[in-house]
Homo-oligomer: A and B are copies of this chain.
């Protein structure tokens, strides 16, 4: 449509295998639905965020319903990921390599820090929370749950992951997510600014978290090939994360991030 890398048939390195437009579109739809979690997403929003036309989205979604990959919620009419998706997922070993590798680090960091700790992976243009540890401090930020999916850039974890990749790649992803930023009250320029700041600092930070009154700090975790694959985040009420404590927390997070990277290697 608009991503015409057309011209001839230069099949070179990345991306351009053709002959499957419909399949790619169906997956784009699925990823948007996944962001809606259990509640799902109205058709119109899928249309808006994917940039596809409504007849196309409608057709895709209803075929996926027939196939059991998507479900429609009775009252609301929203579309959500169907139960055949976890069934397909059972084909893979659980828990994942990353979760195994990260487990001891999360354990240690959670004990030391006491605030809520998140492990977030990058998946395509999204961040996805895959683990959460609750600390001993009596006030915990629990609004982000395992399974939460957001466009890369709107959370401190997303900013950290973007900061850890080559700037042009990050810009490309942020641009691709543009249409989805409005729902999180941010925009391309703001996100890029936060990414630059995180790159300078060595970690991601949001003074004003997605949840009112909270502050988040994230360090990135890279795979052996240097690509950021995940982020480790601490969220707490803002007053609990002053400059002094911020440094303490960052030190622990950085230490454990490196430790997880080692563990993935082995």
Q: Which residues of A come within 8 Å of B, CB atoms?
A: 15, 17, 19-20, 22-24, 26-27, 30-31, 33-38, 59-60, 62-64, 66-69, 80-81, 83-94, 96, 121, 123-124, 128, 130, 146-147, 149
Contact = CB atoms under 8 A, between A and B. Distances in A.
Contacts of A34: 87-88, 90-91
Given A19-B59, A20-B59, 7 more contacts: A17-B59, A27-B67, A38-B92, A38-B93, A81-B91, A89-B89, A90-B128
A17 B63 contact: yes
Contact of A87 (B17, B69, B123): B123
Contact of A91 (B26, B92, B149): B149
Nearest to A147: B90
A27 B64 CA distance: 9
Question: Which DSSP category, helix, strand, loop or mixed, fits chain A's interface?
Answer: mixed
16 contacts: A17-B62, A19-B63, A20-B26, A20-B60, A23-B63, A23-B67, A24-B67, A33-B91, A35-B91, A36-B91, A38-B92, A80-B92, A81-B89, A86-B89, A88-B89, A89-B89
Given A19-B59, A26-B26, A64-B23, A94 B88 contact: no
B87 A128 contact: yes
Contacts of A30: 88
A60 B88 CA distance: 17
A170 B60 CA distance: 28
B17 A90 contact: no
A15 B67 contact: no
A128 to B, nearest CB: 6
A28 to B, nearest CB: 9
Nearest to A128: B87
A85 B89 contact: yes
A34 B85 CA distance: 11
